[in-house]
Structure 1
Amino acid sequence: MEENNQKRLVELIESEHPNIGGITILQNGKTVCETFFNGCDVTSKLHVYSVSKSILSLLVGIAFDQGYLNSLEQKVLTFFPEYSVAAKEQTIQQITLRDLITMTAPYNYDTTDPSIYSQYFMSSDWAAFSLDLLGGQGRIGAFHYTPLIGPDILSAVLIKATGQSVLAFAQENLFTPLGITIEKNITFSSAEEQMAFNQSIDYNGWVCDAKGVNAGGWGLTLSSRDMATIGQLYLNDGQWDHSQIVSPEWLAESTSPHSKWLEMNLSYGYLWWIIDQEKQIFAALGDGGNVIYCNREKQLVIAIASLFMEGTKDRIELIQQVIEPMIR
């Protein structure tokens, strides 16, 4: 990126996107721009919210590649034989891994009800809490975005399948090979600790519940460079440093449309958002404006790590209307 364009971008961010901590831009695998704000630097790790879901998608793909999982059509409850379900509760018995990873599984709760989230955070077992709400009267196959409650079931599935914690499996098979350091599990003893975590730039880890199950839909901390590395892995078709981290088939499937949020007119893959299928643009999106944006046509990755702020401006608009035109 030309120096005057980078200067314009910095000025725009400081005036209109004040919660951004870092931006890393790669083109053809090379860094063309990297800049930081709000006291952040290349080592700063920020809570990336729902970007964590897209990392979970990668881990599920690796588990399939390594033979720990066999089919997305496998029923979810086969992983939880200890979970008791009344015979009349037919819906939950039919839900598959595919339904979970494409957000087409129904849940028996109102996503706009704040009290359900308070109950979730106070629970010692987030996967069991989610299982208790899985199913209900909703229709399997209809897109139903679950921001927090639900993805933990996939985390628990990974533990059952691999025999490792999600963090340990990720460290061994994804983070360490990519040169990403995620140090430890993070737990909270109070709501105040959790609020501090959301505004911190120096936590390094992945949030887990009292059972040690890492949150599936949130809770991971990454730097903008870490995020860009994940995006580049996708553009590399799963290869990194002459090693195949994850199969290209899984990456292609996970960034192809499998469901659609009609209200937002957004297609969804396997925990990845499809921004433009024709141009092969897809993204991991998290609250507060966290994003890993991948444009395969332009071989471009734009990663933005942000602190939480209500009313954050649309980052995809920032990327497509401002940043992309600055890059030749």
Structure 2
Amino acid sequence: MNSNPISSFEDLMKIEYSNISGVVIIKDESLIYEKYFDGYTKDDVLHIASVTKSIISVLIGIAIDKGYIKNVEQKVLEFFPDYTVKRGEKTIQNITIKNLMTMTAPYKYKSEPYTKIYTSDDWMKATLDLLGGKGDIGEFKYSTVGTHILSGVLVSATGQSVIDFATESLFKPLKIKAPKNVIIQNKEEYLAFLKDKYVTGWIVDPKGINTAGWGLTLTARDMAKIGQLYLSDGVWNGNQILSSKWIKDSTKEKTRWGELSYGYLWWIVDDCYAALGDGGNVIFINPKKEMVVTIASRFMPRAKDRIELIRKHIMPLFE
């Protein structure tokens, strides 16, 4: 290994975290480290997988700030007046936005039926049909397909598409280049979006509703901006983009999954919090050290733990 600490760190990433495409670190509001690997540059977007969920949390917060949504205790079905509840279904009627955001809503499946949802012509109805059942409200059940309902809530509440609302309320103020809608029509296109080296856009369902649980592409710098927005209590260039109250609420423990804590679509890691996506995509925020670490990664099954990388190698090197 190289005797230079930074070079040694970069060697480690190339060897043990070979699917990392970019790392951006901000401390005290200044960019202190930025490095790209495997031919990627600062302008290349990647599929950020479940980090998308945390972006949806930002958008729900903005929608509440603007008065489009009253609060997280609103019942989900209030936003889908045309949806017909099956006879005898009671649980679904009591599920709130908060339940969806804290992964405490029950579903009628043991493993997530991705193919069933993504081959249907109405993803929202197919997902609502899976909501409820005999499970208990309040028990942690991580769901990617279920999160899609939150996109439907945003569309119903704001009267805009998710991408338009996100562009106007978040991307434009932060100078993030708004992605274009992308339609996937079969399993091959779905797998290509996950695995191809270069993908762009934000997946939409056949009704034009953007995915909430996955499917968004951003650069490592874009993710760092989201992290810095949270670290700065929702203020960007002197403008309050998101209320500090929402940031505090969404990054406090609301539920637990084993030893892990969860807020409103954010993972709580000791005195820090993070947006985590498959393959090792991360927005990691350390409020005490006023530090944001973002890692963009290509898809890889069972990718090595990024929190360990941040705790063991990045924090000691850059704090």
Q: Structure 1-normalised TM-score?
A: 0.94
Q: How far 1:228 sits from its partner (Å)?
A: 0.7
Secondary structure of the residue aligned to 2:173 is helix
Task: Please give the alpha-carbon distance, in whole angstroms, between the structure 1 residues aligned to 2:48 and 2:220.
Answer: 10
Secondary structure of the residue aligned to 2:313 is helix
Residue of structure 2 in register with 1:90 after alignment: 90
Task: Please give the alpha-carbon distance, in whole angstroms, between the structure 2 residues aligned to 1:244 and 1:194.
Answer: 37
Residue of structure 1 in register with 2:32 after alignment: 32
Residue of structure 1 in register with 2:214 after alignment: 218
Matched AA of 1:250 = W
Task: Please give the alpha-carbon distance, in whole angstroms, between the structure 2 residues aligned to 1:251 and 1:32.
Answer: 24
Pick from 109, 123, 128: which aligns with 1:126?
123
Residue of structure 2 in register with 1:312 after alignment: 303
Task: Please give the alpha-carbon distance, in whole angstroms, between the structure 1 residues aligned to 2:132 and 2:89.
Answer: 8
Task: Please give the alpha-carbon distance, in whole angstroms, between the structure 1 residues aligned to 2:307 and 2:18.
Answer: 16
Matched AA of 1:183 = P
Please state if 1:11 is matched with 2:11: yes
Alignment of 1:43-192 (within 5 A): 43-111=43-111, 116-146=113-143, 148-192=144-188
Q: How far 1:165 sits from its partner (Å)?
A: 0.4
Matched AA of 2:22 = G
Contact 2:119–2:186 (8 Å) recurs in 1: no
Residues 255-313 of structure 1: CA distance to partner in whole angstroms, max 9, x if unpaired?
A: 00111112xx111000000001xx2x000000000010000000010000000011211
Residue of structure 2 in register with 1:268 after alignment: 262
Identity of aligned residues (%): 50
Task: Please give the alpha-carbon distance, in whole angstroms, between the structure 1 residues aligned to 2:227 and 2:251.
Answer: 12
Matched AA of 1:136 = G
List alignment gaps of at least 5 residues for structure 2: none
Secondary structure of the residue aligned to 1:150 is helix
Q: What is the RMSD of the two structures over their aligned residues, measured on CA atoms?
A: 1.3
Contact 1:48–1:222 (8 Å) recurs in 2: yes
Residues 187-239 of structure 1: CA distance to partner in whole angstroms, max 9, x if unpaired?
A: 12332222222234543321111100101100000111111110000000000
Secondary structure of the residue aligned to 2:81 is coil
Matched AA of 2:125 = A
Residues 104-137 of structure 1: CA distance to partner in whole angstroms, max 9, x if unpaired?
A: 00001112x6xx2111110122221110000000
Residues 51-72 of structure 1: CA distance to partner in whole angstroms, max 9, x if unpaired?
A: 0000000000000000100021
Residues 170-195 of structure 1: CA distance to partner in whole angstroms, max 9, x if unpaired?
A: 00000110011123111123322222
Contact 1:127–1:150 (8 Å) recurs in 2: no
Q: How far 1:5 sits from its partner (Å)?
A: 2.6
List alignment gaps of at least 5 residues for structure 1: none
Contact 2:179–2:217 (8 Å) recurs in 1: no
Please state if 1:199 is matched with 2:195: yes
Task: Please give the alpha-carbon distance, in whole angstroms, between the structure 1 residues aligned to 2:95 and 2:114.
Answer: 23
Pick from 243, 257, 282: which aligns with 2:253?
257
Residue of structure 1 in register with 2:315 after alignment: 324
Matched AA of 1:266 = L
Residues 14-44 of structure 1: CA distance to partner in whole angstroms, max 9, x if unpaired?
A: 1000100100001011111100012110001
Q: Structure 2-normalised TM-score?
A: 0.97
Q: How far 1:73 sits from its partner (Å)?
A: 1.2
Contact 2:61–2:246 (8 Å) recurs in 1: yes
Please state if 1:286 is matched with 2:277: yes
Contact 2:105–2:138 (8 Å) recurs in 1: yes
Task: Please give the alpha-carbon distance, in whole angstroms, between the structure 2 residues aligned to 1:117 and 1:87.
Answer: 25
